[in-house]
Amino acid sequence: MKLKSSLTFFAGFAACAALLVLLAATRSPTKGVPESEQDVYYPGSEDLKPDEMRIVALGTGMPSARPKQAAACWLVELGNGDKFLFDLGSGCHERIAAQKIPYDYLDKVFIGHLHVDHMGDLPTFWLGGTVMNRLTPLRIWGPSGGTPEYGTKHALDLMKKMYAWDIGTRSGVIDFRGGELEVHEFPFDGVNKVIYDENGVVIRSIPAVHGLDGAVSFILEWNGLKFVYGSDTIPNKWYVEHAKGADIAIHECFLPPTLLVTKQGFAPMEALMVGTQGHTSPEQFGKVMSLVKPRLAVGYHFYNDFDTEPEVRRRARKTYDGPLDLALDYMVWNVTKNDIRVRMSAIDEEVWPSPPLKKKNAPDTSKSIAFSKFTISGVIAMPEVMEPIFDEINEKYGTNIEPIFK
Ligand SMILES: [Zn+2]
Ligand SMILES: [Zn+2]
């Protein structure tokens, strides 16, 4: 061994030994492991520092959600207290619930395009959240389409109509303020146009190339930090130009056409068209990131498994050698100007929604919709069963509530 390499070796060894001694010094048979030494994020357990951005992947997979990966959804939490959801793809709602965040704090949603894997859980998040104590209107930003019937406003008008029965069952029965929708449709072809500017947070949209006219990507800037979210797009000039300077740049990174053929049974033509002309292959993703040069590049939108991740990474590495994460659901990034820390979350599967943050208003019973005489004729009232249930509550809370069906 040459003298220089021996010295380097011993210097490295000494540094490792010193680190181990330091870590051992923080261990105790009665104290917990310090948070700074844990590689796991427990949602709801950590303060967000005033200058910190926390990003949580809540859907990183494909249109057919699976236990390991829901479809597209990303949560951005800021140290000023603001929280933003980008896309609400199929299956993501339960991952949102796992964050233990009251629904009133999750009132700002940005939809990049109207594919079901980017908005499929919007109805459950909207109405499920309303039933589970949201008392603040849900605000939704989304692009126009090439014509009005392909725009966000039209889609959400129809969503409201589609759920007329659900809404009817709540009318006059609960405080429905959280069911109000505030829809902000913006032009899909705006280039780096501001679509949101509140509380020191600016969000811009840029056009994307995906599916039809009416797909966009988003850029969020706050406190000197820049988050870019591609939704779906093939490589395009707007992303490359305007994502520059990003602390975190998220862009789709689809399965390579070879795996679309072998794992998903696509025909070669279909695999090439879907995998490179409708979506972005790993090699294209890498090239985009080489041009953008973010502090951290994040690829998503593929079934990320032990046998696909190495192949996707190998191909992305053909065209990009910078910092890279290939996202999984529940991956978390804590971003400050000096550091980006990445962890996986440990989830409490028995999480309950938060109690309401505001006082609930009494429902407006004039809006309630009555059953027909026919349906009422089928009720078995069970007074001997109901009386003790109502007595228990009335005695405990000093109320005088009676059953509707007697
Ligand atoms: Zn799409
Ligand atoms: Zn998609």
**Domain ranges for the chain:** 49-345, 370-406
Please write the tens of the pLDDT for every residue from 336-350.
999 999 999 999 999
pLDDT at 15 over 80: no
Any alpha helices (H) in 106-196, and if so which ranges?
Answer: 116-119, 122-123, 129-131, 152-162, 164-170
The kind and range of the H/E element at 333 are strand 331-335
Ligand nearest to the CA of 211: 1
The kind and range of the H/E element at 394 are helix 383-397
Please write the tens of the pLDDT for every residue from 373-404.
999 999 999 999 999 999 999 999 999 999 99
pLDDT at 4: 53
Residues 6+ apart with CB under 8 A from 233: 208, 209, 210, 215, 217, 239, 251, 252, 280
Ligand nearest to the CA of 115: 1
Ligand nearest to the CA of 62: 2
Task: State the CB neighbour count (10 A cutoff) for residue 75.
Answer: 22
pLDDT at 239 over 50: yes
Ligand 1: centre distance to CA 134 (Å):
29
pLDDT band, residue 16 (cuts 50/70/90): low
334: three-class secondary structure by DSSP: strand
3-state helix, strand, coil in the chain (%, to 5): 35, 20, 45
pLDDT at 256 over 90: yes
| Superfamily covering domain 49-345 | Ribonuclease Z/Hydroxyacylglutathione hydrolase-like (3.60.15.10)
Ligand nearest to the CA of 301: 2
C-beta separation of 143 from 156 below 8 A? no
Ligand 1: centre distance to CA 372 (Å):
43
> Which residues, chain by chain, have CB under 5 Å from ion ligand 1?
115, 232
Please write the tens of the pLDDT for every residue from 174-186.
999 999 999 999 9
Please state the rounded mean pLDDT for residues 349-374: 94
pLDDT at 23: 62
* Per-residue burial over 230-264, b = 16 or more CB atoms within 10 Å of its CB, e = otherwise: bbbbbbbebbeebbeebbbbbbbbbbbbebbbeee
The CA distance from 392 to 388, in Å, is: 6
Please write the tens of the pLDDT for every residue from 39-78.
899 999 999 999 999 999 999 999 999 999 999 999 999 9
The CA distance from 69 to 331, in Å, is: 11
| Residue 199 falls in which region: left (phi positive, over 0), alpha (psi -120 to 50) or beta | left
pLDDT band, residue 1 (cuts 50/70/90): very low
pLDDT at 372 over 80: yes
pLDDT at 9 over 60: no
Ligand 2: centre distance to CA 280 (Å):
11
